[in-house]
Chains A and B, each alone.
Chain A
Amino acid sequence: MVPISYYLVLSAILFALGVVGFLIKRNLITLFMSIELMLNAVNLAFVAFAWQWKSLNGQVFVFFVMVVAAAEAAVGLAIIIAVFRTRETLNIDRVNLLKL
């Protein structure tokens, strides 16, 4: 049986990858995927704990997160398409019109 610490370490690694990816990448889609990565890292931790403690709470939380992530993906992709149409770029550093 795999000890819980393995799952948690994997989850931490995935989350860190997501954070780093978000910080260093400029492409909007990549950023988006980084966010998904972080969310799923958290999901992994949730299910791991749910399995550990034989509680359904963690599993339920995961479903919520997945629903929110799906909604977020739909809205986020729509925004990305709209941004690309107007700005013809997905470089996040050049989408800064609101800056004074």
Chain B
Amino acid sequence: MRPHLHLWLIPILPLVGAAINGLLGRRFSHRVVTLVGNVFVGASCAWAWRVFAQFLSLPHQMVPYVHDYATWIRAGSFAASYGLYLDQLSMVMVLVVTSVGFLIHIYSIGYMAHEGGYYRFFSYLNLFMFFMLTLVLGNNYLAMFIGWEGVGLSSYLLIGFFFLRDSAASAGKKAFIVTRIGDFGFLIALFLLIKHFGSLDFGRLFPAISRLGVENAGPGLLTAIGLLLMTGAAGKSAQLPLYVWLPDAMEGPTPVSALIHAATMVTAGVYMVARSNVIFSRAPSAMLVVAIIGCLTALFAATIGMAQTDIKKVLAYSTISQLGYMFLACGVAAFSAGIFHLMTHAFFKGLLFLAAGSVIHSLDGEQDMRRMGGLRKHIPWTFWTMTAATFAIAGIPPFAGFFSKDEILWNAFASQHGSWIFWAVGVLTAFLTSFYMFRLWFLTFFGDFRGIEAGIGEHGYGHIHESPKVMLIPLAILAVLSVVGGWIGWPQMIGGTQRFEHFLSPVFAAHAEEAAVVGAKHSAEPLLAGISVLAALLGLFLALLLYWWRRDLPDKIAAALGGLYTAVRDKYYVDEGYDAAFVEPLIKGSTYILWRGIDAGAIDATANESAEGAEHVSDALRHMQSGNVRSYAGWVAAGAAVVIAYMVYLGVR
């Protein structure tokens, strides 16, 4: 008998929460809003874990577990349904999304307590959960696309949450528009799939595609689809060249940055590429592009992260860089490594953002690291959790980041699609990551407090306050996960079984034989792992040197580097470049050609001129109507006379 998992509860519960808070929240008390905002997500999370327990005991042939609820669109031979699709991959995603999401919801109770629009915040956040779960659970690309656009919407709403602030409003718009560029590619990929396979259903699409051969001879249909999907992924997951929206998205409240712009939404692109592994594994050139984009993004963003002073901006560039790692993994066909890193990254990056939020909270909104320092003693809980996350992201064993990052680097080197170049760039990035994260760590928590001159904490240190418990508990849980979360992927070389990879292997079954090929190179793995740990320690050492022992050095180095330093600090002027290359021409073109030229000059002018022409003609014609009734009668009589004369003429002729 087929067990019924009631999967639909997982996405629907947050939607109910969003609806209740969104429609009625204004009248609710603070306490009720909190309750509604968290209970539904909590229930969804609990249900997800229950489903996980059932899922593990499902017989082998029932995975993937697909359930169609209703037909959504039926047009000719094409059909799309409301249906959910649960396999190992979406199971992992659902657990990560609901669990990390629930923790961040709890954290938000404390963080958002004194902000206006409290109910609005929870409503948006729940709505985001609904769309994200639709994205990962949908059983066809169209459902995924709906979730994809939905998380974009929630992201827009939440980035612009403080919409009275102009920068927040424009950051929201920027995120929406830039990701839209990528979505265009995604859409075209979907059209291609419909045209050539007649379906968007995973269950029908993937078997159909897997009957096709690998496009070794040259790029073909699958390569095109893969590249277009990657365009979408690059937009959503902030990869080169569409990453520019993510740093600006930090205008949103910090829990939003943690949930949407670090842990879940931005990883949707990685999920999509991993979900499409059947397509990518048959399109080597598309895979190569994915790997190159991931690799370059990882390095590029890491260098920018080194010179940022805003604590959230550092984390934002770090997120972009880590997402690059995940794409690198997907690009070398190590999908499970990418998803593994996605999961550990959700733990430690979510934690980093939440801890940074706690720091910001303790300083009443200060985000500039130059005005922090010495906070270790004042906010010890935040300090220790942040420490766990920092070590995790730096890739120092046995923290979670080490295992996932090492897995990616190993695959980048040893996979069939890999190359030592990818590995080298990855290790370099690991070094930079470690450096900028420890820089953040030292600047924030060590040394003397530098905020007094800037007017923060006017009552001296007494004003800096540790966050309330409701914020610290999620921090603590995530800290534990950041430490132990990687152990489920304990590599074989040190006696592990790589349970994570085994769990996911049915989804990525196409690569089973490649793993065997890789096996031959296994002797090099400990050496490579050693090198990446060394790189991480080197980063730690450099940060220690520059921001602890010789604190005068950074300024000197910056001065010595001159233009190079300012270029990095100003993000390589990419935003300015995009402005000059795309935004300005677009505005100018719209203003002078489309608006003043075509709209005002042609369309409006045609309408106005024809109206004026009619007026002129009428003005001339109206003089025929003198208002003198007898003259009209005269014309009538004259006309009649003419007609009669003509008929008489005809008669006598």
Contact = CB atoms under 8 A, between A and B. Distances in A.
B61 interface: no
A19 B640 CA distance: 11
What are the nearest 4 A-B pairs in CB distance? A99-B627, A96-B627, A92-B629, A19-B637
Given A19-B637, A23-B637, A100 B630 contact: no
Nearest to B629: A92
Contacts of A93: 628-630
A93 B633 CA distance: 13
Interface of B: 622, 625-630, 633-634, 637
Contacts of B633: 22-23
Given A25-B630, A98-B627, 9 more contacts: A22-B630, A22-B637, A23-B633, A31-B629, A31-B630, A93-B628, A93-B629, A99-B625, A99-B627
- How many A residues are at the interface, by size bracket? 10 to 19
B592 to A, nearest CB: 41
A34 B633 CA distance: 12
Contacts of B627: 96, 98-99
Nearest to A18: B637
A19 B637 CA distance: 7
Nearest to B619: A100
B637 A99 contact: no
Contacts of A22: 630, 633, 637
B626 A99 contact: yes
Interface of A: 19, 22-26, 31, 92-93, 95-96, 98-100
Nearest to B630: A23
Nearest to B631: A23
A25 B633 CA distance: 12
B630 A96 contact: no
A31 B625 CA distance: 20
B379 to A, nearest CB: 83
A26 B629 CA distance: 9
A70 B169 CA distance: 77
Contacts of A19: 637
6 contacts: A22-B630, A22-B637, A23-B633, A92-B629, A99-B627, A100-B625
Contacts of A92: 629-630
A19 B626 CA distance: 20
Contacts of B628: 93, 96
B625 to A, nearest CB: 7
A22 B629 CA distance: 10
A96 B627 CA distance: 6
A99 B627 CA distance: 5
B634 A100 contact: no
A23 B629 CA distance: 9
Contacts of B630: 22-26, 31, 92-93
Nearest to A24: B630
Contacts of B629: 31, 92-93, 95
Contacts of A26: 630
Given A93-B628, A96-B627, A96-B628, A23 B622 contact: no
Contacts of A98: 627
A92 B637 CA distance: 18
Contacts of A24: 630
A77 B103 CA distance: 90
Contacts of A99: 625-627
A95 B630 CA distance: 12
Nearest to A20: B637
Contacts of A100: 622, 625
